[in-house]
Amino acid sequence: MKKLALAALLAITPVSFAETLEHVEEEVHLAMETIQQLKAEINELKSAVKMQGEIQEASVSRIAKTAKKFEKLHLGGYGELHYNDTETDAGSKSRSIDAHRFVLFFGYDFTDRVRFRSEFELEHGLVCDKNTDTDTSSGSTPSVSTCPGEVELEQMYIEMDLTANTSTKAGVILVPVGILNENHEPPTFYGVERNDVEKYLIPTTWWAGGLLVTHKMNNGLTLEAMFHEGMKGTTAGYIRGGRQKSASATANDWAYTLRATYSGFPGLKASVFYNHQSDFTQVSSDNIDNLDIWGASAIYSFGDGFEVRALHVNAEFDGKVETAAFFTNGFDEQQGTFFEASKRFGDLGFFVNNSNVSGESISRQYTVMQYGFSWWYPGSNAVLKVNYYDKEYSNPSKQTSNSDGVHVGMGYEF
């Protein structure tokens, strides 16, 4: 019996073994296919990861380049709002509120040595009311009163460092004269309005197209020379009205300005300046010829918040024949003196100043006295200003035009 069972087992074993072997081969083949598929998927994932890395690297590179470009940009600005309430000795009252200036700065550093700077300004809040624009059907045009403002390009220049101590500016540049012409942001000076000496005789703000060379010496002395467009005034000799502002400026007769500034003594900044206009009117046939403006200024900070400022300006016209009333009345020699003393206690400062103006007519010959305070918003470069204003004319015929009142203003710089 045992022999029969053994024989039967030996008879069926090859069949079962063959079937098992075939099954194993199928499983192995299936496993290999699965492995190949997984390898393909892994390779695809590797390619995707590599591509993503390249994309991410490219994105990071673009971001870095953009960030580096923005690091070279310089943005800033300033502005001021004024409220003036004055009354003349004749009883005439005047109250006004004016968004006097809104200014934006934009600059870009091309390299460590080459820079671009600009200043874009809107004055008096409105260039022209759209409701009073030209009516083509009637031909009417807006009056000056409905278009009180101006849009101005006050600065636009390329600055380049020639050496560690010497640089040049080419373009539309602020003329290097006086105290406020180059530094007139509201938080930097006392009084709501700029002083009349610099307003009418400098005349601030005064810019021109040209070339400026600056050299700083190691002893605290800075020398500047500017060759620029001249003024284009009238025979009335109104200096402020002669500014051309680089707006299709007539350049028949050029001008130049020289200035020397000393700041080698702690707390002191003192300057002397000279400007020459070869023909103030740019018209060779009229009686007005040369104009020379010279002056000196000083700012001295004693420490502990106490500061004094002083400025004297003298302007002298030459004429071909000096027999016209402009010359015989002495209006060809104009001058002004400004003095101010101030004391600052933290964010609060008090001041008193005096401006003496002798201009081109009896209406431009007067003295202005102001006193008041400025309060800087804590932790900011924004300021609130209040001052008393008193204006007295030199000529007896103008006594009824004497005026006094209060000025209130806010300003900022960033």
- DSSP of 24-38: HHHHHHHHHHHHHHH
Nearest Cα residue to 73 out of 43, 115, 26: 115
As a residue count, the chain comes to 414
Structure tokens at 399: 């006594």
Give the whole-number percent of the chain exceeding pLDDT 90: 75
**Prior bond of 400 cis (ω within 30°):** no
The answer, yes or no, to whether residue 105 has pLDDT greater than 90, is yes
Distance of alpha carbon 286 from alpha carbon 253, whole angstroms: 14
Confidence of residue 44 (pLDDT cuts 50, 70, 90): confident
Domain ranges of the chain: 1-71, 72-131+144-413
DSSP helix, strand, coil percent of the chain (3-state; round to 5)? 25, 45, 30
Q: Is 130 exposed, middle or buried (0-12, 13-18, 19+ CB in 10 A)?
A: exposed
DSSP 171-196: EEEE-S-SSSSS---GGGSSSSSPPH
- Pairing of the two strands 73-88 and 114-123: unpaired
* pTM of the full structure: 0.81
φ and ψ at residue 178, rounded to 5 degrees: 70, -165
Distance of alpha carbon 302 from alpha carbon 81, whole angstroms: 31
φ and ψ at residue 188, rounded to 5 degrees: -95, -5
Do the Cβ atoms of 302 and 310 come closer than 8 Å? Answer: no
Q: Which CATH architecture has domain 72-131+144-413?
A: Beta Barrel (2.40)
Q: Mean pLDDT throughout 337-354?
A: 98
The answer, yes or no, to whether residue 145 has pLDDT greater than 50, is yes
Average pLDDT, the chain: 90
Alpha helices in 72-85 (DSSP H): none
Structure tokens at 300: 């001295």
Phi-psi group of 366: left, alpha or beta (phi > 0 → left; psi -120 to 50 → alpha; rest → beta): beta
Distance of alpha carbon 228 from alpha carbon 214, whole angstroms: 14
Distance of alpha carbon 156 from alpha carbon 153, whole angstroms: 7
Q: Mean pLDDT throughout 168-188?
A: 98
Q: Mean pLDDT throughout 94-103?
A: 97
The predicted pLDDT at position 133 comes to 47
The answer, yes or no, to whether residue 289 has pLDDT greater than 60, is yes
Q: What is the CA radius of gyration of the chain?
A: 38
Do the Cβ atoms of 366 and 394 come closer than 8 Å? Answer: yes
Q: Mean pLDDT throughout 229-248?
A: 96
Q: Is 291 exposed, middle or buried (0-12, 13-18, 19+ CB in 10 A)?
A: buried
Distance of alpha carbon 122 from alpha carbon 161, whole angstroms: 31
Higher pLDDT, 89 or 25: 89
Confidence of residue 3 (pLDDT cuts 50, 70, 90): low
Structure tokens at 190: 């006392």
Confidence of residue 245 (pLDDT cuts 50, 70, 90): very high
The predicted pLDDT at position 43 comes to 81
Q: Is the dihedral of CA 176, 243, 148, 171 positive or negative?
A: negative
